[in-house]
Structure 1
Amino acid sequence: MIHRFLLFVGLIVALAAFVAPADEPAVIRINLLGYRPASSKTAVWGSLTDKTTARFQLVNAETDQVVWQREVGQAFGVYGPFRQTYRLNFSAFRQPGRYYVRTDEGTRSPVFRIGEDVYDGAADFCLRYMRQQRSGYNPFLKDSCHTHDGYTMYGPMPDSTHIDVSGGWHDASDYLQYVTTSANATYHLLAALRDYPDAFTDQHQTNGLAGANGQPDVLDEARWGLDWLLKMHPTDEWLFNQLGDDRDHAGLRIPDEDNFYGKGFERPVYFATGEPQGLFRYKNRATGVASTAGKVSSALALGYQLLRKRPADYVDQSYLTRLRQRAQSAYKLGEQKPGNSQTAPGRAPYFYEEDNYADDMELAAVEQLNLAGTTSKQAGQWRATALKFARQEPVTPWIDNDTARHYQWYPFVNIGHAELAKRFPVGQRKPVTDFYKRGIETVWQRAKQNAFYRGVPFIWCSNNLTTSFATQCLWYRQLTNDQQYAALEQATFDWLFGCNPWGTSFVYGLPANTDTPTDPHSAFTHLKKYPIDGGLVDGPVRGSIYKNLIGITLHEADEYAAFQSDLAVYHDDFGDYSTNEPTMDGTASLVYLLAAKQAEKRTKSPEIQSTIATNKSAIELTSAYAKGAKIRGDTSVRQLSLVFTGDEFADGGRTIARVLRKQNVRASFFLTGRFLRNPANASLVQQLRRDGHYIGPHSDQHLLYCDWTKRDSLLVTHEQFSKDLKANYVALGRFGIQRSKATLFLPPYEWYNDSISTWTQAAGSRLISYTPGTLSHADYTTPDDPNYRDSETILQSIRAYEQRNITGLNGFILLMHIGTASARTDKLYDHLDALLTELRQKSYRFVNVNRL
């Protein structure tokens, strides 16, 4: 990369204090790509002055008619250049069309679309940049480059021995090539094809020129990477790590034959020795080869799995044999030389400082499972090996550290956890998926403090980290069906495409006719005005990083000057190599994420999709549990349970009982001792019992068992819990409800932890709670509550969940309240009859929760 490693050396550029002009207006930031109808949809309003706002509207851009409006909700306060910020949530609105958001003080967003197809073609579009980065033959230029690579250094052969390693991809805007980034990019492209084949088309030949060849373009691109990896690992014992060094930075040029490395047109190719390297003054701190070998093994193994299913005229048997053999030999090299293989510096002290390898070997061990010839016993051994590596690095270290040296922990997402989890039955994945959850929760604790839900640090390549973290959230959701981080996942994705302080997409040319990079740090655009369609630029960095960089000179006036801050800086200017340089590996990672986003409109439910990926002949469906409580029944059966809780209010009781009797539906009621002892509720409880509904305990005094912010911190003792639950059962007994017939216990506030689950079991009861994913449980909120949800919003959330998941509401525990405070005049139970009719028309059957 041109100047990529010039950081932290001195203060050359003196910056202003990043103070926005006082008279700047507020802005609304949205995802310029748009939103899917059933997805989370949130814009962010930010004021550069002391201005505030109270309400916002969604306006049809074709008619200028207001179609939806709400209050803005919680104020998040200062963030970067903004003095006040709000999240504008319009998730409940689902009608496709073109819209803009407008607030009551007059701020207006860019126009955006809501539609099922908003992400269609985006992954394919980003492949344009990958083709443009090709070395050897470059289809964009329709010319060849770097055809004489290269001469060896540090290898078992004499230095300067010629070896054919032409091909692969240039790493960024310079023309260095690294095995570690190329292998990671290759794996992401192959995984995108494996997981989301419908996201890709066939419009190019294997060499990248226009014209179909019967194979998806993403496979052609991945094969370009595989070809080069095989050259860099040509024998069982030889593995090269790097092609070229920072002498590449000697001049700005379109890729052609380099002539400044001292040996004609050849470039140096560095052997992976596992020891420190550097031809000049500076050395890296390499300790082994496993970090590179693991990545190579994984990419070659996955390439073998996908290519062996392709026709013989596309790939011959000898090529497949080499893929399989080299996948195995690379893994062995990783075993023989554990440790980190860092890139070699040249005349400057900068290099890729990779300091971890367990994640790479974990993924490589998992991929060995899929190579032909493994027995059941061998498969079990590979799983055990992968799990051993997984435990060495449960959380990708940048997450816990909130910072990193350049490429210190790479890749930025642990792919091995997702692939390993798929190799276990759904009910046995938790030890692995919890690794993802720990990292996500750490980021969430930072993100929830600001309106952008930004928890990814502003270090170099922050967009690569952002893409990787969004993918980690996606995989966690798919593997567990845990929806609690869905808003964080969407916000992380939205950031890349405009919902950020600068209001820009960070992908060149995507979407068209919006604010995207136009002057990136790229020789293609700077010298020849060539577009770099689909390239993901590095992204914002901390103001402190930017201020200490050498050689940055902005070529044009900063159009984002009002939005720069000490928190983060971004420039669409060729002179800012720290924030605006596109990268090959970051773009490849984004190809995977965009393919997943396109596929979600028709994808299978998260809890079974990962099972299908490993065993298409038998879909494993199980009940779901959280912290010891059953939260969902069998998703293979089209039935659900309506659950109503009651404590101090019972105003909906008669209406609910009447509707259930009319619809001939059995439901479940969990009532506190206070509710049961209230004389005004006695006839209602008796009626519910006569009608055959399940009635169980909800605690006696509706205690809060654990802290809202520290869930593992108990607020009650075991003795207090036991006495309270016993009193609840005594109150049930007065209505003839025996404890042996009411063993299910739904905790107050639906808030509990592992200790409560253990205590419940010890008391002879079983803990249950509602199924997450809808807003039905918010029917108690009142208009003065920042979390208020009206009935239409709640009903839309139920419909949205049912439509976007292949298992719909199967096994659902749908929780509502038997009564609410008088301040809430919009009662959800008044819509119960229509809801039941709607669900019956979709063939759902309603059962008591004990039968779920």
Structure 2
Amino acid sequence: MNHKIMRRCLSALISGMLIASCGSAALPLSGNAAGNLIKNSTFENGTKDWGTYKESGGSCALSTDDGRLALTVKNVGKVNYAVQVYYDIIPLYKNGVYRLKYDISSTVDRFVEGMIQMNGGDYRAYTWKGLNLTSTPQTVEYEFTMEEETDIMAKLVFNCGIQEKYEGELPEHTIYIDNVSLELVDDSNVDYDADKPYAPSININQVGYRPDSKKTAVFRDVTNQTEFSVVNADTKEKVFTGKLENKKENASAGETNYTGDFSSVTKAGKYYISCDGLDDSYTFEIGDKVYSNLIDDSVKMLYLQRCGVKVEDATFGHAACHTSQATVYGTNQKIDVSGGWHDAGDYGRYVVPAAKTVADLLYAYQAAPSLYSDSLGIPESGNGVPDILDEARFELEWMMKMQAPDGGAYHKVSCATFPGYVAPTEEKDELIVTPVSSTATADFCASMALAAEFYEKYDSDFAKKCMEAANKSWAWLESNPNFLFKNPEDIVTGEYGDMTDKDERYWAAVQMYRATKDDKYLASAGKSYTGLDWSTVGDYGNIAILTMNGADKNSDVYKNAQAAVLKQADKMIGNVESSPYGSPLTKYNWGSNMTIANAGIIFGLAQQLTGGENYGEAAQAQLNYLLGANPVATCFVSGYGTVSPENPHHRPSMAAGKAMKGMLAGGVNENLEDSAAKAYLADAPAAKCYVDNSESYSTNEITIYWNSPLTYLLTLTDPSVAPAPVQPATEAPTQPATEAPTTEPATTALATEAPTTEPVTTAPATEAPTQPANVKYGDANLDGDVTLSDALLILQYVANSQKYNIDGQGLVNADCFNPGDGITGQDALAIQKLDAKVIASLPDRA
């Protein structure tokens, strides 16, 4: 870059800094603001805020023409909703009187349906009109009263699929819509506060505390109060009085907080917190076994997610599902891949997240075997093997079916699209196995090597089979050194894509070393990596070496793994100590509860390694957050605490009309990535962006790999957990020294993209795949654009990552120079080069 261009970039960079420091926040609009509720009503902004849905052979394209919305219908499909055009998120309040108006026409005479409908559930219409269209525009205008319960996420929909009752199939044609308005003309009978959730002023861990753990209540709505009391819930006796302390302005939650420490209360029993002028807290318990049932149910939930076999349960039991053979994508080959767990709220099964789940379970068992019984009530209970190992084995046996003959692991098996809100036995579309990927293969290799160790005691033949599978997959990895992944374009279920497989290969190498004690695997491991997400798994390699019996503590691989864990813990602990709720996060992305549980695991490991009490308290703080001590005052595990998810985005629960017990919801997501989140959380502070709504897949879905770190965290915070194995020092290994660990945090947040399809009138909705968002190289601050402000943020992050934080998808986007090499000043320079038009696009490569 020549000096003139460089000066221009630096000047702009400084300007960007000034603009960033002087920016002002936008004021939220009130929910009952007068005027048109349709923002883009005359299409001066193109098709913004309008979208289409297609299915069952329907085909269409959306554009504007002469200031009108133009829906070109290429094929009307097989059902009336095969083609839809819609405007999403319209607040309708019970007893409100509305006036709807629009102009509409069609280049061919035809019948369509215009309605405002429920955006999910049974897609009922709150108002409906049948419209006979001609080429002459007609104005539709009428008033209606919202007679049902308030629905602030309704949608305006035009069904433009086949209407067999009226005309049947039609040639290609265009429907024009213009001058759309919806006004609330009479709200005199509307109660705007009727559906606002209760927000308690005192928040605690709603499940409870172990006697010797640190116990802190979080207070808000405080005026002049200075003291609080702990009250025995049975006797109503005050057993402790303490001071409100540590006043903090909590911008992320939009509130002022105080905390009250009551750690000295250790007697077993049920209690609540009282404070003059504030409602009492929810009741909680103190006891040695306060989490025993929760640990069991966090594992039992996996049994209820079983696929391919009969599941016994009064509410969620079902016959064997998904038992047909699956087609290997792009071939005529069919294979048996029955078994395993349904991954999330849908019925796909994926090797990458399966590996994380299995690792969490096995390492949880290693940390405290006494916590896990053989009596959970699964089919294998009573067989002499702890049920947590039986449950993990069920998934491992399915994973073995996903190994291709050459040793590689197929990435996933699912149908081409998401199913409706139905029980698992009702999804009967063709099963498709997607191609082998290096990430799935490396994760598979690591899982099998880990399993070989844990099952040797109970079934040596199975352990041998696991090790053979691991060796076969390792050979594939050696023969395929380059990153390989390709998600078929015509499959819209979760992709679980990745930017690199280096961390997966690191985990596989260290896990193979742990299983075999062969130094050649350490030579292959290379530098240390971090991460406990499904897409960043380096810390599982670190756990493998740090908790390995006989590990050489003087070896570079051990030292690097230890340094990586402690560096992450030290980086996050400042956030925990400065947050009234003990949160390690400065930004809340999709799956934030997994990220928080993962952070707790890192703190737990740090305590094992050092004995540091502050690490143990930080781990407990993550558990407290997940179980109710959070800004939304929700215990995020269904069926536990006073307030927990009752409407998860989970098809078995939706089909049964009842939340399955023991599931950890995804949690707060400030990015508002589904219609329910956009409707209910538009004005919510970042740390309160959670809604218990079955349509909110970006905050209220569940997954097996969100439950498993909860299980691991519950284990690591138990007093029975022993320090990591301490072995006599031996001479240093002969393999090459590994490089220093990467600086990226272990708890990279899970981000996902917006859904590619939309719900229909009577057909099922689809959700965004649980996968990383499409990478927008350079967009470190996640504002949707790549500008010099992103370069500035990257430079600040490189200089002081504790002060200037980049989380989740921002980290992936920021790695825009030689992706996979980590965040450096070169990434900022690449953005400057793009701005100066020295390069045409990102990423920039050496």
- Calculate the TM-score normalised by the size of structure 1: 0.58
Instruction: Please tell me the residue identity of whatever aligns with 2:337.
Output: V
CA distance in structure 2 between the aligned counterparts of 1:241 and 1:711, rounded to whole angstroms: 34
Instruction: Write the mapping of 1:415-434 to structure 2, written as runs, cut at 5 A.
Output: 415-423=540-548, 424-425=551-552, 429-434=558-563
Instruction: Please tell me the residue identity of whatever aligns with 1:534.
Output: G
- Whether the 8 Å CA contact 1:61–1:111 is kept in 2: the answer is yes
2:440 is the alignment partner of 1:292? yes
CA distance in structure 2 between the aligned counterparts of 1:22 and 1:257, rounded to whole angstroms: 35
Tell me the SS of whatever aligns to 2:242.
Answer: strand
CA distance in structure 1 between the aligned counterparts of 2:720 and 2:260, rounded to whole angstroms: 27
- 1:41 Cα deviation (Å)? 1.0
Instruction: Please tell me the residue identity of whatever aligns with 2:89.
Output: V
Residue deviations 1:185-228, cap 9 Å, x none?
A: 122222222332211121268xx437522221111111111101
Residue of structure 1 in register with 2:385 after alignment: 215
- Whether the 8 Å CA contact 2:647–2:659 is kept in 1: the answer is no
CA distance in structure 2 between the aligned counterparts of 1:220 and 1:146, rounded to whole angstroms: 21
Instruction: Please tell me the residue identity of whatever aligns with 1:170.
Output: H
Residue of structure 2 in register with 1:591 after alignment: 711
CA distance in structure 2 between the aligned counterparts of 1:109 and 1:145, rounded to whole angstroms: 44
- Runs of 5+ in structure 2 lacking a partner? 1-84, 92-151, 154-191, 730-799, 803-846
Residue deviations 1:735-780, cap 9 Å, x none?
A: xxxxxxxxxxxxxxxxxxxxxxxxxxxxxxxxxxxxxxxxxxxxxx
2:536 is the alignment partner of 1:410? yes
Instruction: Please tell me the residue identity of whatever aligns with 2:417.
Output: R
Instruction: Please tell me the residue identity of whatever aligns with 1:496.
Output: L
- 1:427 Cα deviation (Å)? 6.8
Residue of structure 2 in register with 1:355 after alignment: 499
Residue deviations 1:482-537, cap 9 Å, x none?
A: 333333322211111000112111111134xx222112112222222354121111
Tell me the SS of whatever aligns to 1:165.
Answer: coil
2:263 is the alignment partner of 1:91? yes
Residue of structure 1 in register with 2:451 after alignment: 303
- 1:567 Cα deviation (Å)? 4.0
- 1:359 Cα deviation (Å)? 2.7
Tell me the SS of whatever aligns to 1:74.
Answer: strand
CA separation of 1:212/1:10 partners in 2, compared to 1, >3 Å: closer, same or farther? farther
Tell me the SS of whatever aligns to 1:145.
Answer: coil
CA separation of 1:396/1:210 partners in 2, compared to 1, >3 Å: closer, same or farther? closer
CA distance in structure 1 between the aligned counterparts of 2:602 and 2:269, rounded to whole angstroms: 30
**Identity percentage of aligned residues:** 24
CA separation of 1:301/1:349 partners in 2, compared to 1, >3 Å: closer, same or farther? closer
Alignment equivalent of 2:490, drawn from 341, 346, 368: 346
Residue of structure 1 in register with 2:327 after alignment: 151
CA distance in structure 1 between the aligned counterparts of 2:396 and 2:269, rounded to whole angstroms: 42
Residue deviations 1:524-556, cap 9 Å, x none?
A: 2222235412111111110xx21x5357798xx
CA distance in structure 2 between the aligned counterparts of 1:530 and 1:210, rounded to whole angstroms: 26
Alignment equivalent of 1:529, drawn from 657, 660, 666: 657
- 1:322 Cα deviation (Å)? 2.3
- 1:231 Cα deviation (Å)? 0.6
CA distance in structure 2 between the aligned counterparts of 1:397 and 1:471, rounded to whole angstroms: 9
Residue of structure 1 in register with 2:293 after alignment: 121
2:399 is the alignment partner of 1:229? yes
- Whether the 8 Å CA contact 1:466–1:492 is kept in 2: the answer is yes
- 1:170 Cα deviation (Å)? 0.9
- Whether the 8 Å CA contact 2:354–2:705 is kept in 1: the answer is yes
Residue of structure 1 in register with 2:604 after alignment: 474
- Whether the 8 Å CA contact 2:514–2:544 is kept in 1: the answer is no
- 1:711 Cα deviation (Å)? 15
Instruction: Write the mapping of 1:96-111 to structure 2, written as runs, cut at 5 A.
Output: 96-111=268-283
- Whether the 8 Å CA contact 2:590–2:699 is kept in 1: the answer is yes
Residue of structure 2 in register with 1:601 after alignment: 719
Tell me the SS of whatever aligns to 1:474.
Answer: helix
Tell me the SS of whatever aligns to 2:320.
Answer: strand
- Whether the 8 Å CA contact 2:232–2:238 is kept in 1: the answer is yes
Residue of structure 2 in register with 1:13 after alignment: 89
Alignment equivalent of 1:41, drawn from 215, 224, 228: 215
2:658 is the alignment partner of 1:510? no
Residue of structure 2 in register with 1:438 after alignment: 567
Tell me the SS of whatever aligns to 2:536.
Answer: coil
Residue of structure 1 in register with 2:421 after alignment: 252
Alignment equivalent of 1:243, drawn from 410, 413, 426: 413
CA distance in structure 1 between the aligned counterparts of 2:296 and 2:323, rounded to whole angstroms: 27
Residue of structure 1 in register with 2:725 after alignment: 611
Tell me the SS of whatever aligns to 1:414.
Answer: helix
Instruction: Please tell me the residue identity of whatever aligns with 1:226.
Output: L
CA distance in structure 2 between the aligned counterparts of 1:349 and 1:213, rounded to whole angstroms: 37
CA distance in structure 2 between the aligned counterparts of 1:95 and 1:397, rounded to whole angstroms: 36
CA distance in structure 1 between the aligned counterparts of 2:271 and 2:214, rounded to whole angstroms: 16
CA distance in structure 2 between the aligned counterparts of 1:69 and 1:36, rounded to whole angstroms: 19
- Whether the 8 Å CA contact 1:526–1:574 is kept in 2: the answer is yes
Tell me the SS of whatever aligns to 2:424.
Answer: coil
CA distance in structure 1 between the aligned counterparts of 2:455 and 2:532, rounded to whole angstroms: 33
Tell me the SS of whatever aligns to 1:243.
Answer: strand
- Whether the 8 Å CA contact 1:571–1:580 is kept in 2: the answer is yes
- Whether the 8 Å CA contact 1:43–1:89 is kept in 2: the answer is yes
CA distance in structure 2 between the aligned counterparts of 1:234 and 1:574, rounded to whole angstroms: 37
CA distance in structure 1 between the aligned counterparts of 2:647 and 2:196, rounded to whole angstroms: 28
Q: Which has the larger radius of gyration?
A: 1
Alignment equivalent of 1:166, drawn from 334, 338, 349: 338
Instruction: Write the mapping of 1:671-820 to structure 2, written as runs, cut at 5 A.
Output: none
Tell me the SS of whatever aligns to 1:389.
Answer: coil
- Whether the 8 Å CA contact 1:33–1:497 is kept in 2: the answer is yes
CA distance in structure 1 between the aligned counterparts of 2:195 and 2:657, rounded to whole angstroms: 33
- Whether the 8 Å CA contact 1:130–1:169 is kept in 2: the answer is yes
Residue of structure 2 in register with 1:32 after alignment: 206
Instruction: Please tell me the residue identity of whatever aligns with 2:418.
Output: D
CA distance in structure 2 between the aligned counterparts of 1:25 and 1:588, rounded to whole angstroms: 29
Residue deviations 1:10-57, cap 9 Å, x none?
A: 98336899999999886111111211121111111122xx73532222
Alignment equivalent of 1:573, drawn from 671, 693, 701: 693
Instruction: Considering fraction of residues, name the structure with more helix.
Output: 1
- Runs of 5+ in structure 1 lacking a partner? 1-8, 262-266, 275-288, 399-406, 617-709, 713-852
CA distance in structure 2 between the aligned counterparts of 1:152 and 1:550, rounded to whole angstroms: 34
CA separation of 1:592/1:10 partners in 2, compared to 1, >3 Å: closer, same or farther? farther
Instruction: Please tell me the residue identity of whatever aligns with 1:151.
Output: T
Instruction: Please tell me the residue identity of whatever aligns with 1:297.
Output: C
Residue of structure 2 in register with 1:492 after alignment: 622
Instruction: Considering fraction of residues, name the structure with more strand.
Output: 2
Alignment equivalent of 1:321, drawn from 464, 471, 474: 464
Tell me the SS of whatever aligns to 1:99.
Answer: strand
Tell me the SS of whatever aligns to 2:418.
Answer: helix
Tell me the SS of whatever aligns to 1:518.
Answer: coil
CA distance in structure 2 between the aligned counterparts of 1:367 and 1:172, rounded to whole angstroms: 27
- 1:603 Cα deviation (Å)? 3.4
Instruction: Write the mapping of 1:127-146 to structure 2, written as runs, cut at 5 A.
Output: 127-140=299-312, 141-146=317-322
CA distance in structure 1 between the aligned counterparts of 2:383 and 2:400, rounded to whole angstroms: 23
